[in-house]
């Protein structure tokens, strides 16, 4: 059948399984929006307050559901406003396709009104970027974008569509979606070698990251932990893969990780790293990291092997396939002496102190967990609250903790939480945790939460300062608090009401319990401001470039 480019755009999205698209209209995408309007019964468009919010919403939708997130923006500033959201999703290996409009092909390169070379701008921060110059190429380009986004190490693909391409016509033939290209091939001899190393180890330790979630390898990883009786620690991106109640789960690793997990890295004789890229917040100092240990590194992306930490054995492959090949070769063991030593280290872990007269972060989070149970999905912004959430939430689900790990994007949370809530549906509980600094960067999406009528709960840890930066100034800059006390006068309760939401302000635990109970019963979005002390710190903490011997516990 003969269709124009805008109709082809919609038909191909639906063909690829897209049911939701986040975006913001503009002149260069008017044709696309006209087609979306005519097909609103087939694909749901979510209008956000800002294109960056739309990108984060598509990202949160993808992280929560495992589907490919889709975002659409107009040319020029609309396209460039997506850049931070694209980079955020790409570094955390989130499958997303970003569509932008552009000036007609005849005007490209002439500094036309609202023109930006978005393909070139995004090339370093995407898996691939396309500019479609002929309508005959549009459908297959979109198909390729979805396949690339979900294949191998997942990531972001950008498709730029000039306005004349969206108006031109050609023959369109519907096709079945291409299967994603999963890397099923790996070196079986190396897997056998890894099994032998694991079976011979006296003090093995497993480190796993977000790649295990992306590869749907969580069940296989749990089986490896239990079969080999191997204690395990995780990166920020893998919180929830192991239940927080799991005896062999040592918790978070790295700069703000547990003492026991960091100590185990220093003392193990075999480190098995799966689906993690050994970021600087985990390794801290590559010359000091796991010096007593042999290292096995399993990752789908060969460029990550040997990049940050040199391993004794590197296995390139999909974590799920490699783990399922490894499992039958692992002997059942108990490692009782090693586990006893770890239990002793755990008694030395940092324990936060309760308070009766003011709110503390861990008490707020404990109350959230008590009221939401194990089925909630938690989303965070970036800062102190993010680390408190990683440390104290009762993680039970592999996709239950959504946060910006690699890029550390302040302003990520609210858009991502909206996307997660829409992806999971209003019957699913989504709670967003943020700080007053991060929230000021994205609270404009309050209008989106109101217009979408979603029951999203937002808990704001308000210490009236830029807490994480201030903590560093406290520890390492002799308390010179440059630009970390913004002296803002924001009234979050009134602001929530101005958006058409409900707001509460809490100064003690009793007030918070009451407010959160009301929020749980609400059918619309709620903001709960929690006033906490500006000197609350995230502990433990290992300074950048240090190791467990430099850990700060008080």
**What pLDDT is attached to residue 292?**
96
**What pLDDT is attached to residue 525?**
98
Instruction: Spell out the domains of the chain, with CATH numbers in brackets.
Output: 2-171 (3.40.50.970), 188-346 (3.40.50.1220), 361-531 (3.40.50.970)
Question: Please, which pLDDT band fits residue 216 given cuts at 50, 70 and 90?
Answer: confident
Query: Which candidate, 108, 107, 122, 267, places its Cα nearest to that of 99?
Result: 122
Question: Please, which pLDDT band fits residue 169 given cuts at 50, 70 and 90?
Answer: very high
The residues carrying an active-site annotation are: 51, 113-114, 163, 468
Q: Which residue has the tokens 């180890």?
A: 201
Q: In which region does residue 509 sit, left (phi positive, over 0), alpha (psi from -120 to 50) or beta (all else)?
A: alpha
Tens-digit pLDDT profile for residues 518-548: 999 999 999 999 999 999 999 999 999 999 9
**What pLDDT is attached to residue 183?**
83
Query: Which candidate, 185, 183, 243, 235, places its Cα nearest to that of 206?
Result: 235
> What's the whole-number mean pLDDT along residues 128-132?
98
pTM: predicted TM-score of the whole model, two decimal places = 0.97
How many CA atoms within 13 Å lie on the side-chain side of 92? 27
**What pLDDT is attached to residue 102?**
98
Question: Please, which pLDDT band fits residue 179 given cuts at 50, 70 and 90?
Answer: confident
**What pLDDT is attached to residue 181?**
76
**What pLDDT is attached to residue 373?**
92
> What's the whole-number mean pLDDT along residues 325-337?
96
Spatial CB neighbours of 177, under 8 Å, sequence gap ≥ 6:
15, 16, 17, 143, 146, 147
Tens-digit pLDDT profile for residues 346-370: 999 999 999 888 999 999 999 999 9
> What's the whole-number mean pLDDT along residues 215-229?
95
Average pLDDT, the chain: 97
Tens-digit pLDDT profile for residues 14-44: 999 999 999 999 999 999 999 999 999 999 9
Tens-digit pLDDT profile for residues 70-120: 999 999 999 999 999 999 999 999 999 999 999 999 999 999 999 999 999
**What pLDDT is attached to residue 252?**
98
Distance of CA 528 to the CA centre of its chain: 23
Name the 3-class secondary structure at 227: helix
**Residue 39, number of CB atoms within 10 A of its CB:** 17
**What pLDDT is attached to residue 422?**
98
- Whether pLDDT at 374 is above 90: no
Question: Please, which pLDDT band fits residue 554 given cuts at 50, 70 and 90?
Answer: confident
- Whether pLDDT at 161 is above 90: yes
**What pLDDT is attached to residue 246?**
96
Spatial CB neighbours of 479, under 8 Å, sequence gap ≥ 6:
473
Question: Please, which pLDDT band fits residue 215 given cuts at 50, 70 and 90?
Answer: confident
Tens-digit pLDDT profile for residues 459-497: 999 999 999 999 999 999 999 999 999 999 999 999 999
* Percent over 90 (pLDDT), the chain: 97
**What pLDDT is attached to residue 177?**
85
Question: Please, which pLDDT band fits residue 343 given cuts at 50, 70 and 90?
Answer: very high
- Whether pLDDT at 180 is above 80: no
Structure-model confidence comparison of residues 183 and 463, the more confident one? 463
Spatial CB neighbours of 218, under 8 Å, sequence gap ≥ 6:
212, 241, 398
């Amino acid at each position: 059948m003969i269709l124009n480019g805008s109709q082809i755009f919609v038909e191909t999205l639906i063909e690829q399984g897209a049911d939701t698209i986040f975006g913001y209209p503009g002149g260069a995408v008017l044709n696309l929006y006209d087609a979306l309007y005519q097909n609103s019964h087939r694909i749901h468009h979510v209008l956000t307050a800002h294109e960056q919010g739309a990108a984060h919403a598509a990202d949160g939708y993808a992280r929560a559901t495992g589907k490919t997130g889709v975002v659409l923006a107009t040319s020029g500033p609309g396209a460039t406003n997506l850049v931070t959201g694209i980079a955020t999703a790409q570094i955390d290996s989130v499958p997303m396709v970003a569509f932008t409009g552009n000036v007609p092909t005849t005007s490209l390169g002439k500094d036309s009104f609202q023109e930006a070379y978005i393909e070139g701008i995004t090339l370093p921060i995407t898996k691939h970027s396309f500019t479609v110059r002929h309508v005959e190429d549009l459908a297959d380009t979109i198909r390729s974008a979805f396949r690339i986004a979900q294949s191998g190490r997942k990531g972001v693909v950008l498709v730029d569509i000039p306005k004349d391409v969206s108006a031109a016509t050609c023959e369109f033939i519907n096709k079945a979606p291409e299967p994603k290209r999963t890397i099923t091939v790996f070196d079986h001899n190396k897997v056998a070698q890894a099994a032998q190393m694991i079976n011979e180890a006296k003090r093995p330790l497993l480190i796993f990251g977000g790649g295990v979630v992306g590869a749907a390898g969580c069940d296989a990883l749990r089986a490896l932990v239990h079969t080999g009786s191997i204690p395990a620690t995780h990166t920020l991106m893998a919180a929830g893969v192991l239940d927080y109640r799991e005896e062999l789960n040592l918790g978070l690793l790295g700069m703000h990780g547990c003492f026991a997990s960091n100590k185990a890295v220093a003392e193990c004789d075999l480190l098995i790293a799966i689906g993690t890229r050994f970021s600087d917040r985990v390794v801290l100092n590559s010359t000091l990291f796991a010096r007593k240990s042999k290292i096995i590194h399993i990752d789908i992306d060969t460029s990550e092997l040997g990049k940050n930490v040199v391993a004794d054995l590197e296995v390139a492959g999909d974590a799920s396939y490699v783990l399922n090949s490894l499992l039958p070769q692992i002997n059942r063991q108990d490692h009782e002496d090693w586990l006893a030593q770890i239990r002793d280290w755990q008694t030395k872990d940092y324990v936060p102190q309760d308070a009766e007269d003011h709110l503390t972060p861990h008490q707020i989070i404990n109350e959230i967990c008590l009221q939401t149970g194990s089925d909630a999905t938690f989303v965070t912004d970036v800062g102190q609250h993010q680390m408190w959430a990683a440390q104290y939430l009762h993680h039970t689900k592999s996709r239950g903790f959504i946060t910006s790990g690699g890029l550390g994007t302040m302003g990520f949370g609210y858009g991502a939480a909206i996307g997660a809530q829409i992806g999971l549906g209003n019957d699913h509980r989504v709670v967003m945790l943020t700080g007053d600094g991060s929230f000021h960067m994205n609270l404009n999406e309050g209008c989106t939460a109101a217009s979408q009528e979603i029951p999203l709960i937002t808990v704001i840890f308000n210490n009236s300062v830029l807490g994480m930066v201030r903590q560093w100034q406290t520890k390492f800059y002799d308390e010179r608090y440059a630009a970390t006390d913004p002296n803002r006068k924001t009234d979050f309760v009134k602001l929530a009401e101005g958006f058409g939401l409900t707001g509460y302000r809490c100064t003690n635990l009793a007030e918070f319990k009451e407010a959160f109970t009301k929020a749980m019963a609400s059918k619309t979005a709620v903001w709960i401001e929690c006033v906490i002390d500006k000197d609350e710190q995230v502990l433990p903490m290992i300074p950048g470039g240090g190791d467990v011997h430099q850990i700060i516990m008080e």
